[in-house]
Amino acid sequence: MKLRYTYLAAALLAVLAGSCDDNLETFEQTGPTGTPAAIETISSAALPGEIKLDWVAPAGDFAYLQIKYYDPLQKKDVYKLASKGTTSMLIEDTRARFGDYEFSFQTFNGSHQGGAVKTIKAVSGAAPTTVTVVGKTKINIAADQLSTNAQEPTEGPIKNLVDGSSSTFFHTRWSSPQIDLPHWIQVNLKESHKVISIYYKNRGDNTWTTAGRPSVVDLQISNNGEDWETVTTITGMPSSAGSEYTSDYVDAGKSFTYFRFLVTATTGNTKYFNLAQFIMYDVELEVYDPETVPLD
């Protein structure tokens, strides 16, 4: 006679043995009542904040598999149940900081009689760090802190970028002789910064087409105004008249006192670009690292 049982029956047995995982998956089995075949071949892989367990189903019969381990985060034993046809399981919310996790594999028959126990040790990959922006502060930039390698002599002086008006604009050289890209806006910040964000607004009048808008930009840093390092490249910026762009935060990983907005390509493949306004922000970040945060 075949014995049918559900997750509930097996979970009740686990409760009797100790604390039970609240997230056991529901499944229904038809199980044998003979001696359950043991799991022999087991492997593991360390993933970010997880452990992947794989095993080879034994040639003999069994009803279900119980995997037991101690979770240092929950400070209790956890029981996972797997059906006969399952050969892998992902153990979530683990930490590299705890070193070896010990997993016990035991098969059961339809009468809930356990077979031989197979034990392995496995480690987790480091749980991912999360970063949250908690504040932004505008950096005050005066006109004399700005410079460029390609000022258009007939219009659009660079000081217009920080005059607070969207009706004025900065323009790099379009008149002859033109200067090949890249063209840049350089800022002498005069003090150290590390994590920043940029905002700009495109020229707002509709007299001209959408050509000449920045389309590929390197954000560069320096501490002497001569040796430059690209910390990120941005693309996909807007091109319509008066459109605005705000970057994600840029963490340079080091302090810097000079900054360049270096345009390497433009809409319409022009040899110039123009902007109405340009602003920089200091960004305050909150970093949460599950591998180093103090435990209760």
Is the predicted pLDDT of residue 20 greater than 60, yes or no? no
Average pLDDT estimate for 275-279: 97
Average pLDDT estimate for 224-245: 96
CB 139 within 8 A of CB 189: yes
Angle at the Cα of 14 from the Cα atoms of 37 and 64, rounded to 5 degrees: 30
pLDDT value at position 206?
63
The model's confidence at residue 26, banded by pLDDT at 50, 70 and 90, is very low
In this structure, the dihedral spanned by the alpha carbons of residues 286, 289, 290 and 291, taken in order and rounded to 10 degrees, is -160
> Taking Cα atoms as reference points, which of 113, 63, 119, 68 lies closest to residue 89?
68
The model's confidence at residue 18, banded by pLDDT at 50, 70 and 90, is very low
Count CB-CB contacts under 10 A for residue 273. Answer: 29
What pTM did the predictor assign? 0.76
pLDDT value at position 16?
36
Average pLDDT estimate for 153-172: 96
pLDDT value at position 204?
86
Average pLDDT estimate for 115-140: 97
Three-class SS string for the chain?
A: CCEEEEHHHHHHHHHHHCCCCCCCCCCEEEECCCCCCCCCCEEEEEEECEEEEEECCCCCCCCEEEEEEEECCCCEEEEEEEECCCCEEEEECCCHHHCCEEEEEEEECCCCCEEEEEEEEECCECCCCEEEEEEEEECCCCHHHEEECCECCCCCCHHHHHCCCCCCCEEECCCCCCCCCCEEEEEEEEEEEEEEEEEEECCCCCCCCCCCCEEEEEEEEECCCCCCEEEEEEECCCCCCCCEEECCCEEEEEEEEEEEEEEEEEHHHCCCCEECEEEEEEEEEEEECCCCCCCC
Q: Which of 8-22, 82-96, 258-272 has the lowest mean pLDDT?
A: 8-22
> Taking Cα atoms as reference points, which of 69, 124, 116 lies closest to residue 93?
124
Mind listing the pLDDT tens digit for each residue in 184-221?
Answer: 999 999 999 999 999 999 998 765 678 999 999 999 99
pLDDT value at position 31?
65
Mind listing the pLDDT tens digit for each residue in 136-150?
Answer: 999 999 999 999 999
Exposed/middle/buried for residue 243 (C-beta within 10 Å: 0-12, 13-18, 19+):
middle
